[in-house]
């Protein structure tokens, strides 16, 4: 059985799966790059993604249109993060507790909403998820085609967003302001930038991405909604951002790394490999810890990280 | 001292208001889901206190919740955001079961020794996160959370694998502890057990803890790194010890569950008590007595909520929502207190 | 009649029940350089922050170019042509010069970061005022003088016709200061109006056309600066006729050497040398004043002496024993008391009550704890005694430290540090930000400690304070000891050393 691993087909399916499994980590991570660079640590991503998942699924199911599902996920994800923005920026509350609160609240609200809409059914409602979109020509290349060009559209979008995020952060004034607000909010304020305005924007953008990622889970990766659908990916995304030193391209590699761990775990399990399944399942979480160890030196964080800003403090 | 009195009354009032508001919103949500709020809450209260049996169920849950919240409060006081209670609980439970099933100690030793090991287990698991923070500046929120998952999977591995009960029909659970090492019950038919005494002991210890020099030190750390160092405190050492103390209580809660309720280790032993411990700790103002009362309240909410779910159509998730709302209200309220732009906690 | 560029009338600004500005008037004529003079804490920066829209005044009106304005934010101020260069630069360190400047540009329709265009405009502007600038350099790579130039250029680039500079020479070498003044003269020729906040008299005399003097938040007076203006007259306005600090000195001579620093070296957080070959002795019952402009290594020296920073080499002797590079607790236990520069972050637990703040260093001693349990009664009694002895204005020991005024907060710290009759006292900027009454009290207490045999190191940027209290005066510059002068040395001699000019000691009888 071990010999099965070293076939090309195993490798191809492993790598393709890596890309697919990286998506629900990459998407929220990209959004969190905005949020964290603006100086806010939003640990409520997990809850936001759950809300996005249930919203996405519900909208898609009700309307019959998958894209409405995605939009629904994005919208409700953004709305959920509005609470976080209000708590961290306006109320200047402790960001760690606020994020934890939103997770608990998100889990409950999502489950509750699902129940209210769908009730208890013997067979959980399902939909047809996003189909695989094979890119013409490129998708036909042997090996590489299968790995890279045969995914659903949301996966492609996620990776395109890596470039978009890089562009916005490095090449636009908006991105510059976001960085300024996280580095030296007092300076930004003195230059006439609205610190709270920028921070709200950053948190809401994070919410949109997270909501989209949640929707991806329920209507792009799986085809239904369960309470545990996110299983820690939100936290892994936050860690990936730190691990990637807040850079989009590195975040992509980080997400791929985690996707690889998950994909490997699933495939080895399917092959009946004797390594206990649970240790493979642990892998992404252990990796997150290792990633944090390697990359948390104080010097690398935006200087105003997790510090609320107030003009009055002298 | 009248002013201290006023402060306490104020705090209690605020806590009550917070809960009331959360329950109110819960009622609205219940109504939206097509059910009768008053009926629902009646069922909930009955489910928590209705009979001797129901009341004892509430008590059973109060003990571990209180223990875990006490542990959480130690870390929180030092501004260490330990939300890994579940993982520390599990580790404590694992070590305690190993002592109980495989150590070969005589019965009268098993209880105390297993308790000690549970405390050590929980303490080490949390201490690990503390060490990672001190050595590598790894954010303890994420590390303790990740360690939750790791512990959970490790437990799964054990009960599906090496520790599985050979006579257990392939269920993911260990053998059962022999009767002589189980914590005695108070009366037949109810599940309240001698762990209650341990819980009370923990509570009393904590009350004295905050009056001690250790408590003072931990509280000072929570005021900031610069002033702690200025005052001569070894901040790094204290952080690790604080985390260990915090995890120790969670481990104790794990022991309590294994030796008092389940008598064995099984998959899914812990179901989100850790998150709830955070809420209880905050609602109780990080004070032992406040925590005790909050733990009781939430235990009633959980027990009653389970009954409510069985007897009515109301989803259990309402309880989660109420939990989340309570935290949101608490931090909003704390932020209002300092309105004028001051930070509450500097990180 | 020529319109005033800026006319501020009756400005009152209150922080924490304290009037930082009390009905202050300020008039800036077009095309002039106007000095705003006063001691530390006089309210100069506050007044300008009001003009720049960072604060809003409680009372008073502001007219810009003759038109009444509500300046609600820096954006509004910028749109009115007001620019400000703060004492602590408002520059984001990891970004480049151009990026920092573009932060302020009213982007409006602008979406893309067009650094090339802006860089070109920037270089043009810099050349106009004969400044050297590299647009693509990252801020952390620039020297302090260069960073300041960026700040000034930013303000001009945003269209400032009125430029406010807050203590600009505090962080410059004498040569850089001269270059700055050249630039300011160019700008004045160009029709700009400039406000120079300073507490340095030489600057007022050398470059300023008119001066407004503030003291304790109030306006003392406003006048033109002519050849006849003297430093003495200005000082009298700044400090007030009453020379407050004539303490009758107990003529106890200092005793034997208690503490000795020998060739101490230390580096800063940025791994640059901060303390260089520093040697100093402190004797029993003596105050050694350490004078110097802020940022010349005082902070790092203090930290070495209290165990918060390692010394990379050198000896640190207490009663003859080497105690270099030990833990903070070690020094505390050996009676080295420390009044820190920053009473809010280091000196006090702001969220704690006063009783607890008093015992943060000795809560484990037998007087306050038994079998590791805190002795509540003793702690309460201790507070009562300290409150009385140090006249701390608070309702009770339960008051939260944050709520106290600066002066009372400092008294709590004094009570804590001085009560046990320390061997050594390190007082770092002990009267910064305090009003006159509180300052007087603090200085008296330091003197009492000295008379009780404590060896005192008084670190202060306030020359007046140094002159009044010190038995010997040392000067630190760029981390090195410039010289030691005896009591009675003139401010001018000290000032020279502070500027970095190692000189022969002048027995100058002129006082300030």
C191-208 pLDDT per residue, tens: 899 999 987 777 788 889
**What does the domain layout of chain B look like in residue ranges?**
63-290
**What does the domain layout of chain A look like in residue ranges?**
12-121+131-300
Mutation target for B interface from C302, C351, C365: give the one with most B CBs within 10 A. Answer: C351
* ipTM for this model: 0.83
What is the three-class DSSP state of B315?
coil
In the CATH hierarchy, which fold is given to the domain comprising C4-239? Rossmann fold (3.40.50)
Residue B335 pLDDT exceeds 80: no
Task: Residue window 193-252, chain B: list those with CB within 8 Å of chain A.
Answer: none
Structure tokens at B186: 């108070």
The CATH number of C254-335+420-512, from 3.40.462.10, 3.40.50.970, 3.40.50.300, 3.10.129.10, is 3.40.50.300
Q: Whole-angstrom Cα distance, residue B196 to residue C159?
A: 73
Chain-centroid distance of CA C323 in Å reads: 30
| Contact call for residues B279 and B323 (beta carbons, < 8 A) | yes
| Among A54-68, B16-30, B268-282, the range of highest mean pLDDT | A54-68
Contacting partners of chain C (3+ CB pairs under 8 A): A, B
Determine, for residues C106 and A192 on separate chains, whether the beta-carbon distance falls below 8 Å.
yes
Measured over the CA atoms of residue A213, residue A215, residue A221 and residue A227, the dihedral's sign is positive
By C-alpha distance, the chain A residue nearest C108 is A173
Nearest Cα to Cα of residue A82 among A238, A199, A243: A199
| Contact call for residues A80 and A51 (beta carbons, < 8 A) | yes
Q: Whole-angstrom Cα distance, residue C20 to residue B236?
A: 40
By C-alpha distance, the chain B residue nearest C340 is B230
Determine, for residues A282 and B156 on separate chains, whether the beta-carbon distance falls below 8 Å.
no
Determine, for residues C373 and B233 on separate chains, whether the beta-carbon distance falls below 8 Å.
no
Determine, for residues A111 and B328 on separate chains, whether the beta-carbon distance falls below 8 Å.
no
Residue B285 makes CB contacts below 8 A (sequence gap 6+) with: B11, B15
- For residue B116, what pLDDT is reported? 95
Determine, for residues B232 and C328 on separate chains, whether the beta-carbon distance falls below 8 Å.
yes
Strands annotated E in A135-271: 150-152
Q: How many angstroms away from the CA of C164 is the closest CA of chain A? A: 13
Higher pLDDT, B75 or B266: B75
Measured over the CA atoms of residue A16, residue A17, residue A20 and residue A23, the dihedral's sign is negative
Determine, for residues C106 and A184 on separate chains, whether the beta-carbon distance falls below 8 Å.
no
In the CATH hierarchy, which fold is given to the domain comprising A12-121+131-300? ABC transporter involved in vitamin B12 uptake, BtuC (1.10.3470)
| Contact call for residues A26 and A189 (beta carbons, < 8 A) | no
Q: How many angstroms away from the CA of C72 is the closest CA of chain B? A: 17
The mean per-residue pLDDT over the stretch B137-149 comes to: 89
As beta bridge partners, residue C480 has C477
User: What are the φ and ψ backbone dihedral angles of C297, each rounded to 5 degrees?
Assistant: 110, 0
Nearest Cα to Cα of residue B266 among B338, B131, B159, B118: B159
The mean per-residue pLDDT over the stretch B307-325 comes to: 80
Residue A165 pLDDT exceeds 50: yes
| Strand C59-64 to C67-69 pairing | antiparallel
Q: How many angstroms away from the CA of B337 is the closest CA of chain C? A: 13
By C-alpha distance, the chain B residue nearest A227 is B317
State whether residue A223 sits within 8 Å of chain B by CB. no
Contacting partners of chain B (3+ CB pairs under 8 A): A, C
Helical segments of C422-490, H only: 436-451, 463-469
User: What are the φ and ψ backbone dihedral angles of A189, each rounded to 5 degrees?
Assistant: -60, -45
| Contact call for residues C31 and C191 (beta carbons, < 8 A) | yes
The mean per-residue pLDDT over the stretch A159-164 comes to: 93
Determine, for residues B320 and A87 on separate chains, whether the beta-carbon distance falls below 8 Å.
no
Considering only CB atoms, which chain B residues are within 8 Å of A111?
A: 315-317, 320
- For residue B188, what pLDDT is reported? 67
State whether residue A171 sits within 8 Å of chain C by CB. yes
Q: Whole-angstrom Cα distance, residue C359 to residue C339?
A: 14
Chain-centroid distance of CA C404 in Å reads: 21
Q: Give the 3-state secondary structure percentages of chain B, helix then strand then coil, rounded to 5.
A: 75, 0, 25
By C-alpha distance, the chain C residue nearest B340 is C16
Considering only CB atoms, which chain C residues are within 8 Å of B208?
A: 373
- For residue C446, what pLDDT is reported? 94
Nearest Cα to Cα of residue A290 among A254, A256, A262, A249: A254
Question: Greatest CA span in chain C, whole angstroms?
Answer: 80
pLDDT tens, position by position, C269-326: 878 889 999 999 999 999 999 988 777 899 999 999 999 999 999 999 999 899 999 9
Residue A34 pLDDT exceeds 70: yes
Question: What is the DSSP annotation of C5-55?
Answer: EEEEEEEEEEETTEEEEEEEEEEEETT-EEEEE--TTSSHHHHHHHHTTSS
Residue A112 pLDDT exceeds 90: no
CB-CB: which of C15, C74, C113 is closest to A171? C113
Considering only CB atoms, which chain C residues are within 8 Å of A171?
A: 112-113
Low-confidence stretches of chain C (pLDDT < 50) are 1, 108-109, 242-244, 504-512
CB-CB: which of B138, B313, B331 is closest to A292? B138
Structure tokens at C30: 């077009």
Q: Whole-angstrom Cα distance, residue A294 to residue A257?
A: 15
Q: Whole-angstrom Cα distance, residue A39 to residue A46?
A: 19
State whether residue B321 sits within 8 Å of chain A by CB. yes
Nearest Cα to Cα of residue C426 among C346, C491, C335, C501: C335
Q: Could you tell me how many residues make up chain A?
A: 314
For chain C, the C-alpha Rg in angstroms (whole number) is 25
Virtual CA dihedral for C332, C335, C341, C342, nearest 10 degrees? 40
Q: Whole-angstrom Cα distance, residue C112 to residue C92?
A: 19
Considering only CB atoms, which chain A residues are within 8 Å of B147?
A: 285, 289
CB-CB: which of C333, C360, C398 is closest to B231? C360
Q: Whole-angstrom Cα distance, residue C128 to residue C131?
A: 8
Residue B326 pLDDT exceeds 50: yes
pLDDT tens, position by position, C217-260: 889 888 888 887 777 777 777 766 544 455 656 667 888 999 99
Determine, for residues A100 and B146 on separate chains, whether the beta-carbon distance falls below 8 Å.
no
For residue B339, what pLDDT band results from cuts at 50, 70 and 90? very low
Helical segments of C170-282, H only: 174-189, 201-207, 231-239
| Contact call for residues A24 and A217 (beta carbons, < 8 A) | yes
pLDDT above 90 coverage of chain B, percent: 39
The mean per-residue pLDDT over the stretch B107-120 comes to: 90
Determine, for residues B341 and A312 on separate chains, whether the beta-carbon distance falls below 8 Å.
yes
Nearest Cα to Cα of residue B62 among B295, B319, B322: B295
Higher pLDDT, A205 or B332: A205
CB-CB: which of B138, B141, B346 is closest to A307? B346
Determine, for residues A192 and C104 on separate chains, whether the beta-carbon distance falls below 8 Å.
yes
Contacting partners of chain A (3+ CB pairs under 8 A): B, C
| Contact call for residues A292 and B143 (beta carbons, < 8 A) | yes
**What does the domain layout of chain C look like in residue ranges?**
4-239, 254-335+420-512
Q: Whole-angstrom Cα distance, residue C24 to residue B339?
A: 28
The per-residue pLDDT of chain A, averaged, comes to 86
For residue B291, what pLDDT band results from cuts at 50, 70 and 90? very high
């Amino acid at each position: 059985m071990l010999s099965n691993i070293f076939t090309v087909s195993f490798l191809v399916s492993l790598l393709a799966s890596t890309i697919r499994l990286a998506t629900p980590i990459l998407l929220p991570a990209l959004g969190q790059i905005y949020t964290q660079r603006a100086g806010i640590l939003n640990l409520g991503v997990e809850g936001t993604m759950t809300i996005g998942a249930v919203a996405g699924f519900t909208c898609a199911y009700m309307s019959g249109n998958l894209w409405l599902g995605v939009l629904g996920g994005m919208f409700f994800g953004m709305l959920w993060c509005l609470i976080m923005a209000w708590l961290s920026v306006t109320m200047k509350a402790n960001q760690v507790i606020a994020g934890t609160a939103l997770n608990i609240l998100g889990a409950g609200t999502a489950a509750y909403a699902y129940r209210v809409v769908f009730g208890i059914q013997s067979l959980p409602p399902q939909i047809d998820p996003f189909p695989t979109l094979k890119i013409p020509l490129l998708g036909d290349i042997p090996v590489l085609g299968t790995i890279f060009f045969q995914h659903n559209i949301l996966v492609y979008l996620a990776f395109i967003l890596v470039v978009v995020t890089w562009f916005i952060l490095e090449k636009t004034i908006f991105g510059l302001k976001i960085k300024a607000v996280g580095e030296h909010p007092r300076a930004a304020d003195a230059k006439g930038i609205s610190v709270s305005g920028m921070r709200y924007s950053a948190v809401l953008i994070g919410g949109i991405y997270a909501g989209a990622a949640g929707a991806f889970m329920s209507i792009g990766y799986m085809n239904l909604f369960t309470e545990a659908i996110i299983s820690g990916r939100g936290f892994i995304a936050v860690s990936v951002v730190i691990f990637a030193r807040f850079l989009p391209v590195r975040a992509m590699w980080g997400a791929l790394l985690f996707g690889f761990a998950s994909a490997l775990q699933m495939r080895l399990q399917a092959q009946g490999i004797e390594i206990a399944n649970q240790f493979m399942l642990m892998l992404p979480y252990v990796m997150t810890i290792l990633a944090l160890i390697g990359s948390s030196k104080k010097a690398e964080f935006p200087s105003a990280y997790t510090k609320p800003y107030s003009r009055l403090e002298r | 001292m009248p002013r201290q009195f006023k402060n306490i009354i104020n705090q209690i009032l605020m806590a009550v208001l917070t809960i009331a508001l959360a329950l109110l919103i819960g009622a609205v949500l219940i109504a939206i889901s097509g059910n009768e709020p008053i009926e629902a809450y009646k069922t909930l209260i009955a489910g928590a206190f209705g009979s001797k049996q129901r009341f004892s169920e509430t008590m059973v849950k109060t003990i571990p919740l209180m223990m875990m919240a006490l542990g959480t409060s130690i870390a929180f006081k030092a501004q260490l955001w330990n939300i890994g209670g579940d993982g520390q609980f599990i580790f404590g439970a694992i070590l305690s079961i190993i002592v109980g099933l495989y150590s070969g100690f005589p019965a009268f030793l098993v209880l105390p020794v297993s308790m000690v090991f549970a405390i050590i287990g929980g303490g080490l698991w949390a201490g690990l996160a503390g060490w990672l923070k001190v050595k590598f500046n790894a954010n303890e929120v994420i590390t303790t959370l990740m360690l939750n998952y790791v512990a959970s999977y490790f437990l799964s591995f054990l009960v599906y694998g090496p520790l599985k009960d050979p006579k257990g029909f392939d269920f993911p659970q260990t053998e059962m502890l022999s009767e002589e090492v189980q914590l005695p019950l108070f009366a037949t038919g109810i599940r309240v057990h001698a762990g209650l005494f341990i819980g009370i002991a923990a509570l009393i210890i904590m009350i004295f803890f905050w009056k001690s020099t250790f408590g003072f030190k931990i509280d000072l750390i929570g005021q900031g790194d610069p002033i702690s160092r200025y005052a001569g405190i070894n901040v790094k050492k204290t952080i690790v010890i604080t985390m260990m103390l915090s995890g120790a209580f969670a481990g104790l809660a794990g022991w309590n569950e294994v030796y008092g309720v389940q008598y064995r280790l099984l998959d899914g032993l812990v179901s989100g008590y850790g998150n709830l411990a955070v809420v209880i700790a905050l609602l109780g103002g990080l004070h032992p007595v406040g925590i005790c009362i909050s733990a009781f309240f939430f235990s009633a909410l959980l027990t009653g909520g389970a009954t409510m779910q069985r007897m009515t159509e109301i989803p259990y998730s309402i309880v989660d929502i109420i939990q989340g709302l309570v935290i949101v209200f608490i931090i909003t309220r704390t932020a209002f207190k300092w309105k004028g732009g001051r930070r509450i906690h500097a990180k | 009649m020529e319109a005033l560029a800026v006319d501020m009338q009756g400005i009152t600004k209150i922080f924490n029940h304290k009037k930082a500005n009390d009905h202050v008037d300020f008039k800036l004529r077009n095309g002039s350089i106007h000095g705003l003079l006063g001691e530390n804490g006089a309210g100069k920066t506050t007044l300008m922050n009001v003009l720049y829209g960072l604060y809003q005044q409680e009372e008073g009106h502001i007219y810009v170019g003759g038109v009444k304005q509500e300046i609600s934010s820096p954006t509004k101020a910028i749109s009115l042509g007001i620019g400000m260069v703060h004492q602590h630069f408002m520059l984001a360190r990891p970004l480049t010069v151009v990026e920092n400047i573009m932060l302020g540009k009213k982007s409006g329709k602008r979406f893309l970061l067009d650094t090339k265009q802006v860089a070109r405009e920037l270089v043009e502007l810099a050349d106009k005022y004969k400044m050297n600038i590299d647009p693509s350099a990252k801020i952390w790579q620039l020297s302090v003088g260069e960073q300041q130039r960026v700040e000034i250029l930013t303000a001009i680039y945003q269209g400032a016709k009125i430029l406010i500079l807050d203590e600009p020479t505090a962080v410059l070498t004498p040569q850089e200061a001269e270059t700055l003044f050249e630039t300011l003269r160019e700008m004045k020729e160009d029709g700009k109006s400039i406000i120079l906040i300073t507490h340095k008299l030489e600057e007022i005399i050398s470059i300023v056309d008119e001066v407004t003097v503030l003291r304790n938040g109030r306006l003392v007076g406003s006048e033109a600066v002519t050849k006849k203006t003297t430093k003495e007259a200005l000082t009298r306005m700044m400090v007030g006729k009453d020379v407050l600090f004539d303490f009758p000195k107990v003529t106890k001579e200092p005793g034997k050497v208690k503490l000795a620093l020998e060739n101490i070296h230390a580096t800063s957080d940025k791994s640059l040398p901060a303390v260089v070959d520093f040697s100093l002795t402190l004797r029993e019952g003596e105050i050694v004043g350490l004078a110097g402009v802020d940022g010349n290594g005082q902070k790092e020296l203090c930290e070495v002496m209290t165990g918060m920073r390692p010394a990379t080499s050198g000896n640190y002797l207490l009663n003859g024993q080497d105690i270099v590079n030990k833990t903070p607790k070690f020094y505390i236990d050996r009676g080295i008391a420390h009044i820190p520069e920053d009473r809010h972050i280091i000196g006090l637990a702001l969220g704690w009550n006063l009783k607890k703040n008093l015992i943060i260093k000795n809560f484990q001693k037998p007087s306050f704890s038994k079998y590791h349990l805190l002795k509540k009664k003793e702690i309460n009694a201790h507070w009562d005694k300290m409150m009385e002895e140090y006249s701390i204005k608070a309702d009770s020991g339960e008051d939260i430290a944050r709520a106290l005024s600066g002066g009372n907060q400092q008294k709590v710290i004094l009570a804590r540090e001085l009560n046990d009759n320390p061997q050594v006292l390190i007082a770092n900027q002990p009267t910064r930000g305090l009003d006159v009454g509180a300052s007087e009290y603090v200085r008296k207490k330091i003197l009492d400690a000295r008379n009780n045999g404590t060896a005192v190191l008084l670190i202060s940027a306030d020359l007046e304070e140094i002159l009044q209290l010190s038995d010997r005066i040392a000067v630190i510059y760029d981390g090195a000891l410039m010289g030691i002068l005896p009591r009675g040395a003139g401010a001018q001699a000290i000032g020279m050393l502070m500027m970095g000019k190692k000189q022969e000691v002048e027995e100058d009888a002129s006082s300030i």
